[in-house]
Chain A
Amino acid sequence: MTDADAPALAVEDLVMELHLRRGVLRPVDGVSFEVGAGETLGIVGESGSGKSMTCLSILRLLPKPAGRIARGSVRVGGVDLTQLSERELARDWRGRRLSMVTQDPMTSLNPVFTIGDQVGSPLRHHRITRTLRETRARAAAALGRVRIPSPERRLDEYPHQFSGGMRQRAVSAMAIACEPQVMIADEPTSNLDVTIQVKMIELYREIQKETGVAIVLITHDMGVAASICDRVAVMYAGRIVEQGPSRAIFRRPAHPYTQALLDSIPRLGARRKRLFALGGQPPDLLDLPRGCRFAARCPKRMARCDEAYPPEFKLPDGHVSACWLSESEAVHAA
């Protein structure tokens, strides 16, 4: 039923609409990307850019009844999830082949159930384990995999007995318990202190090496993206404006928005007196311009930017930029 050569996750021209009283808006508007097994794709962007909505659309966890997938496909190992029924999705995919880690480990864990119950619950739900003993053994193995010491003993503890870093580990253990092909992590380190964050970054690298899981990491922290992702996609107002190998994105950003993001963050060791400050704000999704959505804030705006949204131009170093400035450098229109 699955195609061995297909990427672990392939999202193509995905459009998610929210039907609100004020009108129809598209928080995700024609997003395409692929993630291979053992690969990490980072989705970066500011709040409201659509990065979290993209992930919820992949899992089809949409607000009801306002949200719907209007177009596009989400293929995991070649199977298009948009064609599946809700029942099939819940039974065979969500939490099993496709799992998710959210930002706040305290709200992802139920305070009245033990860690063992919660890490074991996807295993029982998906009928991977049949007996209590089997479930406990698998749950303990998952806790061990996220480097929680003496996991068998920890199974019977409650979330409040875990520290912040340990809770985030336990949530990650839940996500990998069923050995998914794809793990979506939405700001998994944003609430953590740097000395704990660095441990989580190392943990994700190790888990990936051991299990070959494909990871989609959502973050607003360019430092985290640079240290963990193989490839990066930059989102702005519902669209990916630039994507490609991390090195290309961070070293030779082609899109003025990516450049602005990188220039506006203070860097350790850089003695810059003044930061580059981007003016203005992202556009209202209900009142989008005809041309490029970033044009109003863009320091390199040209007349044609207001006329038409730029296509994705493929650059020689393998990355893709949706900006008219990239046209002259493009290998061919992607």
Chain B
Amino acid sequence: MLLEARHLVKRFDVGGGLFRRAGQVHAVEDVSFGIEPGRTFALVGESGCGKTTVAKLMLLLERPTAGEVVYRGRAVSGLSGGALTEFRSEVQAVFQDPYSSLNPRLRVGRIVSEPLLVHNRMSGAEARKRVDEALEVVGLPRAAAKLYPHEFSGGQRQRIAIARALALRPKALVLDEPTSALDVSIRAQILNLLSDIQEEFGLAYLIIAHDLALVEHFSHETGVMYLGALVEWGPTQTVFDRPRHPYTQALLASAPHPDPDHPPPGDVIRGEIGSALSPPAGCRFHPRCPHAFAPCDRAEPATTDTGQGAWARCHLLDAGAPAPVRRGEPARAGAAGRPA
């Protein structure tokens, strides 16, 4: 494993206002996964599920309340000073919005070389050579180095952000919704570019996304998060072909397909995501779950091996209840999966 999350927990203290009691936001609860070099792990879930907090924890931008971030077998959560700088030079990030992640006052050459100057104290000539290399990898001309971010389109800006992340020759990239601010026709360019880069340099990717089709297309392993916890994870094909957790099934059933002959998306779950300030007792998904039964509002479900390398946390599975639907066998008439 190159990069691992081991039982990560993150809680934020909030409140203590005039009319409000202080509380704790349970942003991340016991999240574990690992990424091998050359592989992509995707975290998928709705807004507020904690996926971006996990990304920040993995980048050591936030310190976990409990648990560990492990890089090459070494716990790194407590690093500081030079060791932290070294970790950061190997694990870089690309963020969602290339309009706010690039400093508008700096030329592209400076933007891409800044991490080099911070981390390596290399000479100007060396840094310029690295910048040229990085720009070439992302498909931008060398002349781009002399221009400012506003002279580029959204897709090109995201290429600049990727070039900056690559300049240090990292081993892993954390991609937080790297294409959601881009137009549809540009998204494919960036996704293909990221795939090419991974293949060429053997990078490990952690991608945070809400678009299920993108995750299925792009990742090798997927973890589905709900209210701070992983509810189902495993090889992407297994999770998407045989979703065993009712939440994963609901997400897949809710996604609209660009095909009018496909059954319309099915509204299979109740209500909206609960509060991370006071997460529901027992299984966090039970207030919305169409299959909730006796133990769901009391006991936290155990982690069950669902086969083919996948795992899920659901009482239906540990109670040995009939297996929930597979893809293509709708949960409700025409609700889940895709046409045969």
Contact = CB atoms under 8 A, between A and B. Distances in A.
A154 interface: no
A254 to B, nearest CB: 16
Given A193-B210, A193-B273, A223-B255, A272 B185 contact: no
A17 to B, nearest CB: 24
A281 B153 contact: yes
Interface in B201-241: 210-214, 216-218, 240
Contacts of B186: 281
B46 A220 contact: no
A197 interface: yes
A198 B267 contact: yes
Interface in A197-214: 197-199, 201-202
Contacts of B195: 274
Nearest to A272: B217
A222 B188 CA distance: 14
A271 to B, nearest CB: 8
A222 B260 CA distance: 10
A250 B260 contact: yes
Interface in B241-268: 250-262, 264-267
Contact of B214 (A194, A220, A266): A266
Contacts of B11: none
A264 B188 contact: yes
A276 B188 contact: yes
Given A268-B212, A278-B185, A262 B258 contact: yes
Given A47-B183, A163-B272, A265 B258 contact: yes
Given A201-B265, A265-B184, A226 B259 contact: yes
A251 interface: yes
Contacts of B250: 195
Contact of A220 (B183, B254, B337): B183
Contacts of B272: 163-165, 195-196
A275 interface: yes
A115 interface: no
B229 to A, nearest CB: 17
Nearest to B196: A274
Contacts of B264: 201, 227-228
Contacts of A276: 188
A195 B217 CA distance: 20
Contact of A268 (B183, B216, B273): B216
A268 B188 contact: no
A221 interface: yes
Given A226-B257, A275-B192, A261 B210 contact: no
A267 interface: yes
B195 to A, nearest CB: 7
Nearest to A281: B153
Contacts of B188: 264-265, 275-278
Nearest to A266: B217
Nearest to B47: A193
A162 to B, nearest CB: 10
A195 B261 CA distance: 21
B311 to A, nearest CB: 21
Contacts of B128: none
Residue of A222, A265, A269 with highest tally of chain B CB at under 10 A: A269
A268 B192 contact: no
B66 interface: no
B187 interface: yes
A227 B265 contact: yes
Contact of B191 (A224, A261, A275): A275
B257 A268 contact: yes
B144 interface: no
Task: Give 7 closest A-B pairs by Cβ, nearest first.
Answer: A223-B256, A266-B217, A222-B258, A264-B188, A193-B46, A275-B188, A269-B338
Interface of A: 46-47, 163-165, 193-199, 201-202, 220-228, 246-247, 250-251, 260-262, 264-270, 272, 274-279, 281
Given A195-B251, A278-B189, A281-B155, 19 more contacts: A46-B183, A46-B185, A163-B272, A194-B265, A196-B272, A197-B254, A197-B265, A198-B266, A199-B267, A225-B258, A226-B260, A266-B211, A266-B213, A266-B216, A266-B218, A270-B217, A275-B191, A275-B192, A279-B189
17 contacts: A47-B183, A165-B272, A195-B272, A199-B267, A226-B259, A226-B262, A227-B264, A250-B259, A250-B260, A262-B258, A264-B184, A265-B184, A265-B213, A268-B338, A272-B217, A275-B192, A276-B188
